[in-house]
Structure 1
């Protein structure tokens, strides 16, 4: 009989790893400390709870690296992508998810799987049995200490921020309007998935001033804030220059205000639907470290949000990850204790999709090893393989920081064949990745047969 696989952490990576191993016929024990032990960011005890955003980002699998990662996970029978598709919300070219039913369904399907046993409670030491550690950015203090003791070094850390969520019926639609940037989307519902709040130049300048002078969370003595560039607090972006926001999350391009079609806004704040009912909207790119009182004051300066009520205010929390290039082998195993694999954000990938993809891979690799099967290396020309190569040796260990999937992680494509434009080059990346990923999945299936 195949030995049990213990998976520590029931977030995106742990849930996907459990599903992949269980589907391969391996008995899985999935350990999740919630709801017995809570965190700053989580609100429920559900598996795969989404906390920072409800977006899986671009779903374009032809010219976008994260869209290609979506494609690979779907091709591999991924639980996270399958469930995300079932609970998708209109979001133009992005894949946004109704977060509560999404997490509830992931939880239901894992608990119902005959090869999965979910155990609630905190794990405070590295397991002696075959295991995958997928505890994510909010790894408990005791387990983080155990990891640091085993690896002989402190885990790296940065600070992750959360954006606020607004009740839709408190947005002034006499000022705001519905439109996806560049009218992206195949249906009218998708093309109107975002609510836009316009700003004049004077309003924008006053808003930036308020951000720069707002009361913000302070850190402990000796604690240095390292932020991931893809999730910078709005105030930190403002500190980088007065035009930074206007060329970032508040860019006014691709939008026309129907209330004043002849007036181009100086800046635009976008809100994205956060649930299927359309009652909640999150402010896109507005992660913040402002204290609660300052948030309500500053964000109500946004035209259309003067009377806004917040279902959730933003916040900031410590985010822990290991120096994977020095600690993990090409099979995602801890070099000092190879019966343990790491997966998800704790390995230094950033984002829901990237975390789930590393869980998918760790689950498959662990299942094959426990069943005595041999798998070929994951092709580094795939999105999944490019991420794996980055965290297990491709990145510079001295400056290792969390990374989203991007074409810069892929081996260059052959420039021959007339593919010269950026879109054509990106399509060459995804064409090559699809063929390689299908080949690798076929090898996995043949080995399991």
Structure 2
């Protein structure tokens, strides 16, 4: 079989992209390194192996953004969702699967498709012809080097340093206030939450005492972690360390006192819509429940709801808002698309979703027609928009799908907002498919 497009990487994104292309009648060569060379994290040579969890998270299509994404992918004929449904195990409202059965079934479906040639090989350079690179967080060093050579060393990261992200509407702006340090910028670049001395000392002690997650064995020797220190490690270095680092209050005027606060927590706008704000410098290995409990002790964040909690782990991902166009093509080499976690989406299902879109964009292009991106009101469109321009390139870090990425619906009452967004997404997807 002579392929028309080369897909590098047989994870969830690569497998989904291959399936979408083949189902559209496009012959595919799918290269997967495992089978000739392993990785520190994978245990088998099956495609779409689930490494850390067997869960695709909530399957609720009415009140959870990832559930909306599941529903959209099912509607578009996703292989990953088909096999996830076929290998589902009891998990309440979550979609959890038998990991071995799921990966084996995806592998079999890909191997049996007459338009997919599955090749076990390591790819060390970017292909010359039409291609989708979907090599994920453990991209081989040789290919990572080739990507860095094409995109620039500073555009390719090798670890996530995830600061928590808060939904703006849950910040108490009667307590917090807008101000940039020394009044630089336009005055609304940062939201500030002040801490008194006693509050700061209690917060610093709680950071040190909080329960943390450990690095996985294959992450522990990654040198790049040295470049971005968890906030609790900074706290351990001395009681004043944070006050002279990310929590310094100098140059800020607390409107309640007219004075510089003893310490401050700053939030910076994280997306173009202004619906998401990240807590500056708060990358952390604290367990998620500890983060929620501790961060809600901060004045102004008592009722905070989080689009993403903090983390720090090994990954390989592009600065996608800077490098990729709206169809996931590399601007400097548009015959190459990227898909999956290497684009900076976070999570199994998000990875597969971007693979689905990359496959469909490529299939349309090879067929000589244009495929408009899905509307931003859909989960697919919201996730794609965040990756390809909705997020700020200067602070880009991986993100799960969440309603904070969707255009807001301020006219809907708060309790009805998520179902209203889900209904709007279904209507928008139907219109896109009809068009």
- The answer for the alignment partner of 1:386 in structure 2 is 382
Q: 1 CA distance for matches of 2:424 and 2:64?
A: 13
Distance 1:111 1:226, change over 3 A: farther
- The answer for the alignment partner of 1:158 in structure 2 is 159
Aligned: 1:224 with 2:220: no
Task: Name the SS for the 1:439 alignment partner.
Answer: helix
Q: 2 CA distance for matches of 1:370 and 1:397?
A: 29
- The answer for the alignment partner of 2:95 in structure 1 is 95
TM-score, with normalisation over the residues of structure 2? 0.68
Q: Deviation at 1:222?
A: 7.7
Q: 1 CA distance for matches of 2:420 and 2:213?
A: 47
Distance 1:2 1:215, change over 3 A: closer
Q: 1 CA distance for matches of 2:339 and 2:127?
A: 15
CA contact (8 A) 2:210 2:290 kept: no
Distance 1:226 1:212, change over 3 A: closer
Aligned: 1:318 with 2:314: yes
Distance 1:213 1:409, change over 3 A: closer
Task: Name the SS for the 1:320 alignment partner.
Answer: strand
Q: 2 CA distance for matches of 1:357 and 1:215?
A: 27
- The answer for the alignment partner of 2:16 in structure 1 is 16
- The answer for the alignment partner of 2:301 in structure 1 is none
CA contact (8 A) 1:137 1:321 kept: yes
Alpha-carbon displacement from aligned partner over 1:157-209 (angstroms, at most 9, x marks no partner): 22599xxxxxxxxxxxxxxxxxxxxxxxxxxxxxxxxxxxxxxxxxxxxxx96
TM-score, with normalisation over the residues of structure 1? 0.66
- The answer for the alignment partner of 2:421 in structure 1 is 429
Aligned: 1:349 with 2:375: no
Distance 1:319 1:85, change over 3 A: same
Q: 2 CA distance for matches of 1:213 and 1:370?
A: 45
Which of 336, 340, 344 is 2:332 aligned to? 336
- The answer for the alignment partner of 1:28 in structure 2 is 28
CA contact (8 A) 1:382 1:436 kept: yes
Aligned positions of 1:27-66 closer than 5 A: 27-66=27-66
Q: Deviation at 1:214?
A: 8.7
CA contact (8 A) 1:237 1:245 kept: no
- The answer for the alignment partner of 2:407 in structure 1 is 411
CA contact (8 A) 2:215 2:313 kept: no
Cα RMSD of the aligned pairs, angstroms, is 3.3
Q: 2 CA distance for matches of 1:11 and 1:48?
A: 4
- The answer for the alignment partner of 1:72 in structure 2 is 72
CA contact (8 A) 1:79 1:106 kept: yes
Q: Deviation at 1:116?
A: 0.5
Q: Deviation at 1:407?
A: 0.7
Distance 1:367 1:246, change over 3 A: same
- The answer for the alignment partner of 1:327 in structure 2 is 323
Q: 2 CA distance for matches of 1:67 and 1:426?
A: 11
CA contact (8 A) 2:161 2:228 kept: no
Q: 2 CA distance for matches of 1:430 and 1:385?
A: 13
Q: 2 CA distance for matches of 1:213 and 1:125?
A: 35
Aligned positions of 1:152-301 closer than 5 A: 152-154=152-154, 155-158=156-159, 217=220, 219-220=222-223, 223-225=226-228, 236-237=285-286, 244=291
Gaps of 5+ in 1: 162-207, 230-234, 249-286, 289-315, 444-449
CA contact (8 A) 2:158 2:224 kept: no
Distance 1:93 1:247, change over 3 A: farther
Which of 358, 361, 366 is 1:365 aligned to? 361
Gaps of 5+ in 2: 163-207, 231-277, 279-283, 296-309
- The answer for the alignment partner of 1:113 in structure 2 is 113
Q: Deviation at 1:79?
A: 0.3
Q: Deviation at 1:36?
A: 0.8
Question: How many residues align structurally?
Answer: 325
Q: 2 CA distance for matches of 1:369 and 1:36?
A: 32
CA contact (8 A) 1:343 1:355 kept: yes
Distance 1:160 1:101, change over 3 A: farther
Task: Name the SS for the 2:34 alignment partner.
Answer: coil
Q: 1 CA distance for matches of 2:372 and 2:355?
A: 18
Q: Deviation at 1:376?
A: 2.5
CA contact (8 A) 1:40 1:317 kept: no
Alpha-carbon displacement from aligned partner over 1:120-161 (angstroms, at most 9, x marks no partner): 111000001100000011111000000000012331122599
Q: Deviation at 1:92?
A: 1.0
- The answer for the alignment partner of 1:267 in structure 2 is none
- The answer for the alignment partner of 1:122 in structure 2 is 122
Distance 1:112 1:329, change over 3 A: same
